[in-house]
Amino acid sequence: MHPYQDATRPVAERVEDLLARMTLEEKAGQLFHSMLMMNGDGTPVTETDGSMLPFTTPELVEDRHLSHFNLLGTYGAREMAMWHNAVQEMAANTRLGIPVSLSTDPRHAFTDNVGASFNAGAFSAWPEALGLAAIGDPELVFRFADTVRREYLAVGFRTALHPQIDLATEPRWARQTGTFGSDAKLTCELVQAYVRGLQGEALGPDSVAAMVKHFPGGGPQKDGEDPHFPHGKEQIYPGGMRDHHLEPFKAAIAAGCSQMMPYYGQPIGTDWEEVGFGFNKGVVTGLLREELGFTGIVCTDWGLLTDSVIFGEPHEARAWGVEHLSVAERAAKSLEAGSDQFGGEQSPEVIVELVGSGRISEARIDESVRRLLREKFVLGLFDERRYVDPDEAAETVGRADFKAAGAAAQRRSLTVLTDGPLPLSGRPKLYVENVDAAVAAAYGDVVTTPAEADLAVLRLRTPYEERPNRFESFFHSGSLAFAEPELARILSLLATVPTVVCVNLERPAVLPEIAEHAAALIADYGASDEALLDVAFGRAKAEGRLPFELPRSMAAVAAARPDVPNDTVDPVFPHGHGLSS
Protein backbone atom coordinates (compact mmCIF):
# COMPACT_ATOMS: atom_id res chain seq x y z
CA MET A 1 0.00 0.00 0.00
CA HIS A 2 1.27 3.43 -0.93
CA PRO A 3 0.95 6.25 1.62
CA TYR A 4 -1.79 7.98 -0.43
CA GLN A 5 -3.90 4.82 -0.13
CA ASP A 6 -3.65 4.76 3.67
CA ALA A 7 -6.74 6.34 5.21
CA THR A 8 -4.99 6.74 8.57
CA ARG A 9 -2.49 9.26 7.21
CA PRO A 10 -3.14 13.03 7.14
CA VAL A 11 -4.76 14.35 3.96
CA ALA A 12 -1.86 16.71 3.20
CA GLU A 13 0.61 13.81 3.35
CA ARG A 14 -1.57 11.65 1.10
CA VAL A 15 -1.90 14.47 -1.45
CA GLU A 16 1.85 15.03 -1.66
CA ASP A 17 2.57 11.32 -1.97
CA LEU A 18 0.10 10.92 -4.83
CA LEU A 19 1.20 14.11 -6.57
CA ALA A 20 4.81 12.90 -6.58
CA ARG A 21 3.76 9.65 -8.30
CA MET A 22 1.80 11.32 -11.10
CA THR A 23 3.06 11.85 -14.63
CA LEU A 24 2.51 15.23 -16.25
CA GLU A 25 -0.20 13.64 -18.42
CA GLU A 26 -2.03 12.37 -15.33
CA LYS A 27 -1.78 15.78 -13.69
CA ALA A 28 -3.06 17.47 -16.84
CA GLY A 29 -6.15 15.28 -16.85
CA GLN A 30 -7.16 16.57 -13.42
CA LEU A 31 -7.46 20.12 -14.78
CA PHE A 32 -10.52 19.25 -16.88
CA HIS A 33 -14.10 18.95 -15.64
CA SER A 34 -15.94 17.52 -18.62
CA MET A 35 -19.37 16.08 -19.42
CA LEU A 36 -20.57 12.50 -19.52
CA MET A 37 -23.82 10.87 -20.51
CA MET A 38 -24.94 7.36 -19.59
CA ASN A 39 -26.99 4.62 -21.14
CA GLY A 40 -30.46 4.16 -19.72
CA ASP A 41 -29.53 0.77 -18.28
CA GLY A 42 -26.82 2.23 -16.07
CA THR A 43 -23.84 1.40 -18.28
CA PRO A 44 -21.16 3.86 -19.43
CA VAL A 45 -21.24 5.26 -22.96
CA THR A 46 -18.67 3.42 -25.07
CA GLU A 47 -19.72 4.83 -28.46
CA THR A 48 -20.44 8.43 -29.46
CA ASP A 49 -21.59 10.13 -32.64
CA GLY A 50 -19.96 13.40 -31.60
CA SER A 51 -23.21 15.38 -31.61
CA MET A 52 -22.85 16.22 -27.92
CA LEU A 53 -19.74 14.48 -26.57
CA PRO A 54 -16.55 14.04 -28.61
CA PHE A 55 -15.12 11.16 -26.54
CA THR A 56 -16.42 7.96 -24.96
CA THR A 57 -16.21 7.37 -21.22
CA PRO A 58 -13.24 4.95 -21.45
CA GLU A 59 -11.36 7.39 -23.68
CA LEU A 60 -11.76 10.17 -21.11
CA VAL A 61 -11.05 8.10 -17.97
CA GLU A 62 -8.42 5.66 -19.19
CA ASP A 63 -6.70 7.48 -22.04
CA ARG A 64 -7.01 11.16 -21.19
CA HIS A 65 -6.80 10.73 -17.38
CA LEU A 66 -9.86 12.87 -16.56
CA SER A 67 -11.51 12.29 -13.18
CA HIS A 68 -14.04 15.14 -12.87
CA PHE A 69 -17.33 14.92 -14.77
CA ASN A 70 -20.82 16.37 -14.78
CA LEU A 71 -23.66 14.12 -15.87
CA LEU A 72 -26.01 15.27 -18.62
CA GLY A 73 -29.58 13.98 -18.84
CA THR A 74 -32.22 12.52 -16.54
CA TYR A 75 -32.26 8.87 -15.51
CA GLY A 76 -33.57 6.52 -12.84
CA ALA A 77 -31.90 6.58 -9.41
CA ARG A 78 -30.84 2.93 -9.42
CA GLU A 79 -29.40 3.28 -12.92
CA MET A 80 -27.46 6.43 -11.95
CA ALA A 81 -25.96 4.62 -8.97
CA MET A 82 -25.02 1.61 -11.10
CA TRP A 83 -23.46 3.88 -13.71
CA HIS A 84 -21.53 5.82 -11.07
CA ASN A 85 -20.08 2.59 -9.69
CA ALA A 86 -19.13 1.39 -13.17
CA VAL A 87 -17.26 4.62 -13.89
CA GLN A 88 -15.56 4.45 -10.48
CA GLU A 89 -14.51 0.88 -11.20
CA MET A 90 -13.08 2.02 -14.52
CA ALA A 91 -11.10 4.73 -12.70
CA ALA A 92 -9.98 2.29 -9.98
CA ASN A 93 -8.34 0.15 -12.63
CA THR A 94 -6.15 2.96 -13.96
CA ARG A 95 -2.49 3.10 -12.94
CA LEU A 96 -3.03 5.21 -9.79
CA GLY A 97 -6.72 4.48 -9.24
CA ILE A 98 -7.67 8.14 -8.79
CA PRO A 99 -11.44 8.19 -8.11
CA VAL A 100 -13.95 10.10 -10.18
CA SER A 101 -15.65 13.21 -8.79
CA LEU A 102 -19.17 13.40 -10.23
CA SER A 103 -21.06 16.68 -10.43
CA THR A 104 -24.44 17.90 -11.62
CA ASP A 105 -26.40 21.00 -12.50
CA PRO A 106 -29.58 21.51 -10.45
CA ARG A 107 -32.02 18.56 -10.59
CA HIS A 108 -34.75 19.39 -8.08
CA ALA A 109 -37.18 21.65 -9.91
CA PHE A 110 -39.04 22.11 -13.20
CA THR A 111 -36.64 23.77 -15.65
CA ASP A 112 -35.12 21.45 -18.25
CA ASN A 113 -32.20 23.16 -20.00
CA VAL A 114 -29.22 21.04 -21.00
CA GLY A 115 -26.99 24.09 -20.49
CA ALA A 116 -28.18 24.99 -16.99
CA SER A 117 -30.43 22.51 -15.17
CA PHE A 118 -32.59 19.38 -15.45
CA ASN A 119 -36.13 18.72 -14.31
CA ALA A 120 -36.50 16.73 -11.12
CA GLY A 121 -37.24 13.38 -12.72
CA ALA A 122 -36.63 10.78 -10.01
CA PHE A 123 -35.62 13.42 -7.45
CA SER A 124 -37.97 15.38 -5.19
CA ALA A 125 -39.50 18.37 -6.99
CA TRP A 126 -39.17 21.80 -5.37
CA PRO A 127 -39.74 25.32 -6.71
CA GLU A 128 -36.88 26.91 -8.61
CA ALA A 129 -34.41 29.01 -6.63
CA LEU A 130 -36.57 32.06 -7.40
CA GLY A 131 -39.41 30.32 -5.57
CA LEU A 132 -37.22 29.68 -2.55
CA ALA A 133 -36.41 33.40 -2.61
CA ALA A 134 -40.13 34.22 -2.84
CA ILE A 135 -40.59 32.34 0.45
CA GLY A 136 -37.45 33.97 1.88
CA ASP A 137 -36.89 31.44 4.68
CA PRO A 138 -33.23 30.49 5.29
CA GLU A 139 -34.27 27.47 7.37
CA LEU A 140 -36.31 26.13 4.45
CA VAL A 141 -33.35 26.65 2.11
CA PHE A 142 -31.14 24.73 4.54
CA ARG A 143 -33.65 21.84 4.59
CA PHE A 144 -33.86 21.94 0.80
CA ALA A 145 -30.08 21.83 0.38
CA ASP A 146 -29.80 19.06 2.97
CA THR A 147 -32.36 17.04 0.98
CA VAL A 148 -30.39 17.69 -2.20
CA ARG A 149 -27.26 16.50 -0.39
CA ARG A 150 -28.88 13.23 0.70
CA GLU A 151 -30.32 12.47 -2.71
CA TYR A 152 -27.07 13.39 -4.47
CA LEU A 153 -24.96 11.24 -2.14
CA ALA A 154 -27.22 8.27 -2.80
CA VAL A 155 -26.38 8.23 -6.52
CA GLY A 156 -22.79 9.46 -6.21
CA PHE A 157 -22.94 13.17 -7.02
CA ARG A 158 -20.24 14.85 -4.91
CA THR A 159 -20.18 18.36 -6.42
CA ALA A 160 -23.21 20.61 -6.94
CA LEU A 161 -22.77 23.05 -9.82
CA HIS A 162 -24.88 25.44 -7.77
CA PRO A 163 -26.09 27.55 -5.98
CA GLN A 164 -26.30 30.34 -8.52
CA ILE A 165 -26.18 33.62 -6.64
CA ASP A 166 -26.10 36.23 -9.39
CA LEU A 167 -28.44 39.13 -8.65
CA ALA A 168 -31.41 39.30 -11.03
CA THR A 169 -31.01 42.96 -11.99
CA GLU A 170 -31.54 42.78 -15.79
CA PRO A 171 -35.15 41.70 -16.40
CA ARG A 172 -34.43 40.14 -19.81
CA TRP A 173 -31.55 37.90 -18.72
CA ALA A 174 -32.25 34.19 -19.33
CA ARG A 175 -30.67 32.79 -16.16
CA GLN A 176 -32.78 34.46 -13.49
CA THR A 177 -34.83 31.41 -12.59
CA GLY A 178 -31.74 29.86 -10.98
CA THR A 179 -31.05 32.90 -8.80
CA PHE A 180 -32.48 34.13 -5.50
CA GLY A 181 -33.81 37.26 -7.19
CA SER A 182 -32.74 40.87 -7.07
CA ASP A 183 -32.19 41.36 -3.33
CA ALA A 184 -28.54 41.11 -2.25
CA LYS A 185 -29.30 40.92 1.48
CA LEU A 186 -31.73 38.02 1.05
CA THR A 187 -29.37 36.25 -1.35
CA CYS A 188 -26.59 36.49 1.24
CA GLU A 189 -28.80 34.86 3.87
CA LEU A 190 -30.03 32.11 1.57
CA VAL A 191 -26.66 31.18 0.09
CA GLN A 192 -25.17 30.68 3.52
CA ALA A 193 -28.02 28.32 4.44
CA TYR A 194 -27.64 26.56 1.08
CA VAL A 195 -23.88 25.99 1.46
CA ARG A 196 -24.34 24.66 5.01
CA GLY A 197 -27.06 22.31 3.81
CA LEU A 198 -24.83 20.87 1.08
CA GLN A 199 -21.50 20.81 2.86
CA GLY A 200 -22.28 20.79 6.57
CA GLU A 201 -20.19 22.85 8.95
CA ALA A 202 -17.02 21.52 7.29
CA LEU A 203 -16.35 19.59 4.10
CA GLY A 204 -16.17 15.85 4.75
CA PRO A 205 -17.30 12.37 3.63
CA ASP A 206 -20.97 13.26 4.04
CA SER A 207 -20.70 16.54 2.13
CA VAL A 208 -21.57 17.61 -1.37
CA ALA A 209 -19.14 20.33 -2.43
CA ALA A 210 -20.80 23.59 -3.47
CA MET A 211 -19.53 25.21 -6.68
CA VAL A 212 -20.96 28.70 -6.27
CA LYS A 213 -21.54 30.70 -9.44
CA HIS A 214 -21.08 32.98 -11.34
CA PHE A 215 -18.33 35.14 -9.86
CA PRO A 216 -18.32 38.19 -9.68
CA GLY A 217 -22.04 38.25 -10.49
CA GLY A 218 -23.57 37.59 -13.91
CA GLY A 219 -26.72 39.70 -13.67
CA PRO A 220 -25.70 42.92 -15.47
CA GLN A 221 -25.70 41.54 -19.03
CA LYS A 222 -25.98 44.14 -21.78
CA ASP A 223 -29.53 44.03 -23.22
CA GLY A 224 -30.11 40.95 -21.07
CA GLU A 225 -28.46 38.66 -23.61
CA ASP A 226 -26.71 35.57 -22.29
CA PRO A 227 -22.92 35.18 -22.61
CA HIS A 228 -23.17 31.56 -23.62
CA PHE A 229 -23.47 33.25 -27.02
CA PRO A 230 -21.30 35.90 -28.76
CA HIS A 231 -24.05 38.52 -28.89
CA GLY A 232 -24.37 38.32 -25.08
CA LYS A 233 -20.73 38.54 -24.05
CA GLU A 234 -20.71 42.12 -22.69
CA GLN A 235 -21.31 42.82 -19.00
CA ILE A 236 -21.83 46.45 -18.04
CA TYR A 237 -22.28 48.56 -14.90
CA PRO A 238 -23.88 51.90 -15.89
CA GLY A 239 -25.33 52.28 -12.40
CA GLY A 240 -21.95 51.91 -10.70
CA MET A 241 -23.12 48.95 -8.60
CA ARG A 242 -20.35 46.48 -9.37
CA ASP A 243 -19.47 45.98 -5.71
CA HIS A 244 -23.12 45.38 -4.84
CA HIS A 245 -23.06 42.23 -6.98
CA LEU A 246 -20.13 40.90 -4.93
CA GLU A 247 -22.03 40.80 -1.64
CA PRO A 248 -23.53 37.30 -2.07
CA PHE A 249 -20.11 35.87 -2.96
CA LYS A 250 -18.61 37.30 0.20
CA ALA A 251 -21.37 35.53 2.13
CA ALA A 252 -20.72 32.26 0.29
CA ILE A 253 -17.00 32.43 1.08
CA ALA A 254 -17.79 33.14 4.73
CA ALA A 255 -19.99 30.02 4.74
CA GLY A 256 -17.05 27.95 3.50
CA CYS A 257 -18.07 27.18 -0.08
CA SER A 258 -15.62 24.73 -1.57
CA GLN A 259 -15.55 25.86 -5.20
CA MET A 260 -16.23 28.96 -7.29
CA MET A 261 -17.12 29.37 -10.96
CA PRO A 262 -16.28 32.63 -12.75
CA TYR A 263 -18.77 33.74 -15.38
CA TYR A 264 -18.38 33.98 -19.14
CA GLY A 265 -19.09 37.71 -19.22
CA GLN A 266 -16.59 40.27 -20.52
CA PRO A 267 -16.65 43.42 -18.33
CA ILE A 268 -16.90 46.61 -20.36
CA GLY A 269 -16.10 50.12 -19.14
CA THR A 270 -14.53 49.20 -15.80
CA ASP A 271 -10.96 49.13 -14.51
CA TRP A 272 -10.94 45.34 -15.03
CA GLU A 273 -9.29 43.93 -18.11
CA GLU A 274 -11.92 43.53 -20.84
CA VAL A 275 -11.67 39.75 -21.08
CA GLY A 276 -14.05 37.07 -19.86
CA PHE A 277 -13.89 36.49 -16.11
CA GLY A 278 -12.37 33.03 -16.53
CA PHE A 279 -9.33 34.71 -18.11
CA ASN A 280 -9.29 37.72 -15.83
CA LYS A 281 -6.37 37.80 -13.38
CA GLY A 282 -7.54 40.98 -11.71
CA VAL A 283 -10.85 39.29 -10.90
CA VAL A 284 -9.82 35.71 -10.09
CA THR A 285 -6.48 36.28 -8.37
CA GLY A 286 -6.68 39.94 -7.39
CA LEU A 287 -10.28 40.06 -6.20
CA LEU A 288 -11.37 36.50 -5.41
CA ARG A 289 -8.15 35.03 -4.08
CA GLU A 290 -6.27 37.99 -2.58
CA GLU A 291 -8.96 40.50 -1.59
CA LEU A 292 -11.76 38.11 -0.61
CA GLY A 293 -9.47 35.35 0.67
CA PHE A 294 -10.96 32.42 -1.25
CA THR A 295 -8.69 29.36 -1.02
CA GLY A 296 -10.84 26.73 -2.73
CA ILE A 297 -11.09 25.42 -6.28
CA VAL A 298 -11.79 27.80 -9.17
CA CYS A 299 -13.43 26.00 -12.10
CA THR A 300 -14.21 27.96 -15.24
CA ASP A 301 -17.62 27.94 -16.82
CA TRP A 302 -18.06 25.41 -19.60
CA GLY A 303 -16.40 25.72 -23.01
CA LEU A 304 -13.89 28.56 -22.75
CA LEU A 305 -11.09 27.00 -24.77
CA THR A 306 -12.31 25.03 -27.79
CA ASP A 307 -15.08 25.33 -30.35
CA SER A 308 -17.74 22.67 -29.96
CA VAL A 309 -20.70 20.98 -31.61
CA ILE A 310 -23.96 21.03 -29.63
CA PHE A 311 -27.02 19.26 -31.06
CA GLY A 312 -25.12 19.01 -34.32
CA GLU A 313 -24.65 22.79 -34.55
CA PRO A 314 -21.26 24.58 -34.30
CA HIS A 315 -20.54 26.87 -31.35
CA GLU A 316 -17.44 28.96 -30.94
CA ALA A 317 -15.48 28.85 -27.70
CA ARG A 318 -16.69 31.38 -25.12
CA ALA A 319 -13.29 33.03 -25.12
CA TRP A 320 -14.67 36.53 -24.94
CA GLY A 321 -11.98 39.16 -25.29
CA VAL A 322 -9.35 36.56 -26.19
CA GLU A 323 -10.93 35.12 -29.33
CA HIS A 324 -7.69 35.86 -31.20
CA LEU A 325 -5.62 33.58 -28.96
CA SER A 326 -4.92 29.92 -29.72
CA VAL A 327 -6.42 27.22 -27.53
CA ALA A 328 -3.07 26.81 -25.74
CA GLU A 329 -2.73 30.56 -25.22
CA ARG A 330 -6.26 30.74 -23.81
CA ALA A 331 -5.49 27.91 -21.40
CA ALA A 332 -2.29 29.64 -20.30
CA LYS A 333 -4.10 32.94 -19.72
CA SER A 334 -6.79 31.25 -17.65
CA LEU A 335 -4.20 29.42 -15.52
CA GLU A 336 -2.26 32.65 -15.04
CA ALA A 337 -5.51 34.34 -14.03
CA GLY A 338 -5.83 31.80 -11.19
CA SER A 339 -8.20 29.14 -12.55
CA ASP A 340 -7.62 25.56 -11.40
CA GLN A 341 -9.85 23.68 -13.79
CA PHE A 342 -11.50 24.05 -17.19
CA GLY A 343 -15.21 23.27 -17.27
CA GLY A 344 -16.64 21.39 -20.24
CA GLU A 345 -13.24 20.79 -21.81
CA GLN A 346 -11.17 17.63 -22.31
CA SER A 347 -7.81 18.70 -23.76
CA PRO A 348 -5.04 17.63 -21.37
CA GLU A 349 -2.58 17.52 -24.26
CA VAL A 350 -2.78 21.33 -24.30
CA ILE A 351 -1.45 21.46 -20.72
CA VAL A 352 1.32 19.01 -21.58
CA GLU A 353 2.24 21.24 -24.52
CA LEU A 354 2.30 24.37 -22.35
CA VAL A 355 4.62 22.79 -19.79
CA GLY A 356 6.82 21.24 -22.47
CA SER A 357 7.28 24.60 -24.15
CA GLY A 358 8.08 26.32 -20.84
CA ARG A 359 5.04 28.60 -21.18
CA ILE A 360 3.59 27.25 -17.89
CA SER A 361 5.66 25.64 -15.14
CA GLU A 362 4.85 22.21 -13.79
CA ALA A 363 4.88 23.81 -10.35
CA ARG A 364 1.89 25.93 -11.43
CA ILE A 365 0.08 22.77 -12.55
CA ASP A 366 0.91 21.12 -9.22
CA GLU A 367 -0.66 24.04 -7.38
CA SER A 368 -4.06 23.35 -8.94
CA VAL A 369 -3.79 19.55 -8.90
CA ARG A 370 -3.00 19.74 -5.18
CA ARG A 371 -6.29 21.55 -4.54
CA LEU A 372 -8.25 19.11 -6.67
CA LEU A 373 -6.75 16.00 -5.08
CA ARG A 374 -7.19 17.36 -1.59
CA GLU A 375 -10.93 17.66 -2.13
CA LYS A 376 -11.20 14.05 -3.32
CA PHE A 377 -9.46 12.88 -0.14
CA VAL A 378 -11.56 15.11 2.13
CA LEU A 379 -14.77 13.85 0.51
CA GLY A 380 -13.72 10.27 1.24
CA LEU A 381 -13.57 9.29 -2.43
CA PHE A 382 -10.34 7.34 -1.95
CA ASP A 383 -11.88 5.47 0.95
CA GLU A 384 -15.38 4.58 2.11
CA ARG A 385 -17.25 6.93 -0.21
CA ARG A 386 -15.94 5.60 -3.53
CA TYR A 387 -19.00 3.46 -4.32
CA VAL A 388 -22.73 3.79 -3.63
CA ASP A 389 -25.50 1.22 -3.07
CA PRO A 390 -28.04 1.09 -5.94
CA ASP A 391 -30.72 -0.30 -3.62
CA GLU A 392 -30.19 2.55 -1.18
CA ALA A 393 -30.25 5.02 -4.07
CA ALA A 394 -33.63 3.70 -5.22
CA GLU A 395 -34.99 4.02 -1.67
CA THR A 396 -33.53 7.48 -0.99
CA VAL A 397 -34.05 9.45 -4.19
CA GLY A 398 -37.60 10.74 -4.35
CA ARG A 399 -38.39 9.44 -0.85
CA ALA A 400 -41.95 10.21 0.22
CA ASP A 401 -40.97 12.75 2.89
CA PHE A 402 -38.61 14.52 0.48
CA LYS A 403 -41.38 14.77 -2.12
CA ALA A 404 -43.84 16.03 0.48
CA ALA A 405 -41.43 18.73 1.61
CA GLY A 406 -40.91 19.82 -1.99
CA ALA A 407 -44.64 19.90 -2.66
CA ALA A 408 -45.23 22.00 0.47
CA ALA A 409 -42.53 24.44 -0.65
CA GLN A 410 -44.19 24.74 -4.07
CA ARG A 411 -47.40 25.84 -2.37
CA ARG A 412 -45.64 28.28 -0.06
CA SER A 413 -43.75 29.86 -2.96
CA LEU A 414 -46.85 30.77 -4.98
CA THR A 415 -47.29 34.54 -5.00
CA VAL A 416 -50.79 36.01 -5.05
CA LEU A 417 -50.54 39.31 -6.93
CA THR A 418 -54.28 40.08 -7.03
CA ASP A 419 -56.80 37.96 -5.16
CA GLY A 420 -60.28 38.91 -6.45
CA PRO A 421 -62.53 35.93 -5.63
CA LEU A 422 -59.83 33.91 -3.86
CA PRO A 423 -60.14 31.59 -2.06
CA LEU A 424 -62.60 29.76 -4.29
CA SER A 425 -65.32 27.57 -2.78
CA GLY A 426 -67.74 24.83 -3.78
CA ARG A 427 -67.40 22.92 -7.04
CA PRO A 428 -67.60 25.50 -9.82
CA LYS A 429 -67.79 24.63 -13.48
CA LEU A 430 -64.12 24.98 -14.51
CA TYR A 431 -62.63 25.72 -17.89
CA VAL A 432 -58.85 25.13 -17.84
CA GLU A 433 -55.96 25.83 -20.17
CA ASN A 434 -52.46 24.43 -19.61
CA VAL A 435 -53.84 22.67 -16.54
CA ASP A 436 -54.36 18.91 -16.40
CA ALA A 437 -58.11 18.40 -16.66
CA ALA A 438 -57.87 15.21 -14.58
CA VAL A 439 -56.28 17.19 -11.76
CA ALA A 440 -58.81 20.03 -12.07
CA ALA A 441 -61.66 17.53 -11.79
CA ALA A 442 -60.87 17.09 -8.10
CA TYR A 443 -61.73 20.78 -7.54
CA GLY A 444 -64.66 21.41 -9.88
CA ASP A 445 -66.65 20.14 -12.84
CA VAL A 446 -64.44 20.55 -15.90
CA VAL A 447 -66.17 21.92 -19.00
CA THR A 448 -64.88 22.22 -22.54
CA THR A 449 -65.65 25.84 -23.39
CA PRO A 450 -65.39 29.17 -21.53
CA ALA A 451 -69.08 29.87 -22.21
CA GLU A 452 -70.08 26.86 -20.07
CA ALA A 453 -67.82 27.81 -17.17
CA ASP A 454 -68.35 29.63 -13.90
CA LEU A 455 -64.59 30.16 -13.71
CA ALA A 456 -61.48 29.58 -15.82
CA VAL A 457 -57.97 28.70 -14.69
CA LEU A 458 -55.23 29.68 -17.14
CA ARG A 459 -51.54 28.91 -16.74
CA LEU A 460 -49.05 31.00 -18.73
CA ARG A 461 -45.29 31.23 -19.07
CA THR A 462 -43.25 34.40 -19.25
CA PRO A 463 -42.90 35.34 -22.93
CA TYR A 464 -39.59 35.16 -24.77
CA GLU A 465 -38.26 35.50 -28.29
CA GLU A 466 -37.63 32.36 -30.28
CA ARG A 467 -34.01 31.94 -31.33
CA PRO A 468 -32.98 29.89 -34.38
CA ASN A 469 -30.10 28.02 -32.75
CA ARG A 470 -31.26 24.83 -31.04
CA PHE A 471 -29.05 25.21 -27.98
CA GLU A 472 -29.87 28.90 -27.60
CA SER A 473 -33.57 28.09 -27.77
CA PHE A 474 -33.25 26.71 -24.22
CA PHE A 475 -32.15 30.16 -22.99
CA HIS A 476 -35.30 32.27 -22.99
CA SER A 477 -34.27 35.82 -23.85
CA GLY A 478 -35.61 38.97 -25.46
CA SER A 479 -39.02 40.57 -24.99
CA LEU A 480 -40.95 39.89 -21.78
CA ALA A 481 -44.26 41.18 -23.15
CA PHE A 482 -47.19 39.10 -24.41
CA ALA A 483 -47.38 39.70 -28.15
CA GLU A 484 -50.34 39.77 -30.48
CA PRO A 485 -52.34 37.79 -31.35
CA GLU A 486 -51.71 35.82 -28.13
CA LEU A 487 -52.44 38.81 -25.88
CA ALA A 488 -55.78 39.45 -27.61
CA ARG A 489 -56.72 35.78 -27.23
CA ILE A 490 -55.90 35.87 -23.49
CA LEU A 491 -57.83 39.10 -22.93
CA SER A 492 -60.81 37.66 -24.81
CA LEU A 493 -60.90 34.73 -22.40
CA LEU A 494 -60.65 37.08 -19.41
CA ALA A 495 -63.60 39.09 -20.79
CA THR A 496 -65.69 35.93 -21.31
CA VAL A 497 -65.39 34.30 -17.89
CA PRO A 498 -63.78 35.25 -14.56
CA THR A 499 -60.30 33.79 -14.83
CA VAL A 500 -57.60 32.90 -12.34
CA VAL A 501 -54.34 33.43 -14.21
CA CYS A 502 -51.08 31.88 -13.02
CA VAL A 503 -47.89 33.08 -14.71
CA ASN A 504 -44.66 31.14 -14.38
CA LEU A 505 -42.01 33.80 -13.71
CA GLU A 506 -38.76 32.42 -15.04
CA ARG A 507 -38.16 36.11 -15.83
CA PRO A 508 -40.16 39.24 -14.86
CA ALA A 509 -43.14 39.17 -17.25
CA VAL A 510 -44.62 42.40 -18.62
CA LEU A 511 -48.36 41.89 -18.08
CA PRO A 512 -50.21 45.13 -17.24
CA GLU A 513 -53.32 44.27 -19.30
CA ILE A 514 -53.54 40.74 -17.87
CA ALA A 515 -53.11 42.06 -14.33
CA GLU A 516 -55.94 44.52 -14.92
CA HIS A 517 -58.45 42.07 -16.36
CA ALA A 518 -57.72 38.78 -14.56
CA ALA A 519 -60.13 37.90 -11.75
CA ALA A 520 -57.05 36.88 -9.78
CA LEU A 521 -53.37 36.77 -10.71
CA ILE A 522 -50.85 34.35 -9.19
CA ALA A 523 -47.15 33.92 -9.91
CA ASP A 524 -45.36 30.60 -9.75
CA TYR A 525 -41.69 29.62 -9.99
CA GLY A 526 -42.19 25.94 -10.56
CA ALA A 527 -45.31 24.42 -9.04
CA SER A 528 -47.64 21.55 -9.90
CA ASP A 529 -51.26 21.99 -10.94
CA GLU A 530 -52.26 20.53 -7.57
CA ALA A 531 -50.19 23.17 -5.78
CA LEU A 532 -51.84 25.98 -7.74
CA LEU A 533 -55.37 24.67 -7.25
CA ASP A 534 -54.81 23.97 -3.56
CA VAL A 535 -53.89 27.63 -3.10
CA ALA A 536 -56.73 28.89 -5.32
CA PHE A 537 -59.28 26.87 -3.33
CA GLY A 538 -57.86 27.79 0.06
CA ARG A 539 -56.53 24.32 0.86
CA ALA A 540 -52.97 25.63 1.17
CA LYS A 541 -51.44 28.96 2.07
CA ALA A 542 -49.39 30.94 -0.43
CA GLU A 543 -46.58 32.91 1.21
CA GLY A 544 -44.58 34.12 -1.77
CA ARG A 545 -43.39 37.67 -2.31
CA LEU A 546 -42.04 38.82 -5.67
CA PRO A 547 -38.25 38.26 -5.84
CA PHE A 548 -38.03 41.07 -8.42
CA GLU A 549 -40.37 43.76 -9.72
CA LEU A 550 -42.66 43.21 -12.71
CA PRO A 551 -42.07 46.00 -15.27
CA ARG A 552 -44.88 47.93 -16.92
CA SER A 553 -43.43 47.95 -20.44
CA MET A 554 -40.48 46.89 -22.53
CA ALA A 555 -39.63 50.56 -22.94
CA ALA A 556 -39.19 50.76 -19.17
CA VAL A 557 -36.99 47.66 -19.26
CA ALA A 558 -34.80 49.09 -22.03
CA ALA A 559 -34.37 52.36 -20.10
CA ALA A 560 -33.34 50.64 -16.86
CA ARG A 561 -29.73 50.11 -15.78
CA PRO A 562 -28.83 46.41 -15.86
CA ASP A 563 -26.69 46.46 -12.72
CA VAL A 564 -29.28 48.25 -10.56
CA PRO A 565 -31.93 46.14 -8.80
CA ASN A 566 -35.59 46.93 -9.52
CA ASP A 567 -34.78 49.94 -11.69
CA THR A 568 -37.78 50.18 -14.03
CA VAL A 569 -40.16 53.14 -13.87
CA ASP A 570 -43.65 52.56 -12.43
CA PRO A 571 -43.64 48.75 -12.25
CA VAL A 572 -46.97 46.93 -12.31
CA PHE A 573 -45.95 45.17 -9.10
CA PRO A 574 -42.94 46.18 -6.97
CA HIS A 575 -40.29 43.86 -5.60
CA GLY A 576 -41.64 42.17 -2.48
CA HIS A 577 -45.31 42.40 -3.46
CA GLY A 578 -47.56 39.52 -2.51
CA LEU A 579 -50.90 39.00 -0.79
CA SER A 580 -51.55 36.42 1.89
CA SER A 581 -53.89 33.74 0.59
Which of 270, 207, 214 shows the shortest CA–CA distance to 237?
Answer: 270
Residue 179 sits at the vertex; the CA angle it makes with 177 and 180, to the nearest 5 degrees, is: 115
Instruction: Report the C-alpha gap between 7 and 169 in whole angstroms.
Output: 47
Q: How far apart are CA 181 and CA 507, in angstroms?
A: 10
Q: 3-class SS at 140?
A: helix
Total Cβ atoms within 10 A of residue 391: 10
Catalytic residue among 105, 137, 183, 301: 301
Q: Which amino acid is at 262?
A: P
Query: Helix (H, G, I), strand (E, B), or coil: what is residue 454?
Result: coil
- How many residues does this entry show for the chain? 581
Concatenating the DSSP letter of every residue in 340-405 gives -BEET---HHHHHHHHHTTSS-HHHHHHHHHHHHHHHHHTTTTTTTS---HHHHHHHTT-HHHHHH
Buried/exposed 404-442: b ≥16 CB within 10 Å, e otherwise:
ebbbebbbbbbbbbbbeebbbeeebebbbeebeeeebee
Distances (CA, A) of 149 to 199, 205, 391: 8, 12, 17
Contact 365, 191 (CB under 8 A): no
- Is residue 487 classed exposed, middle or buried when 0-12, 13-18 and 19+ CB atoms within 10 A define those classes? middle
Beta bridge partners of 458: 433, 501
Cβ neighbour number for residue 73 with a 10 Å cutoff: 14
* HEC profile of 60-120: HHHHCCCCEEEECCCCCHHHHHHHHHHHHHHHHCCCCCCCCEEEECCCCECCCECCCECEC
Is 301 considered catalytic here?
yes
What residues act catalytically? Answer: 301
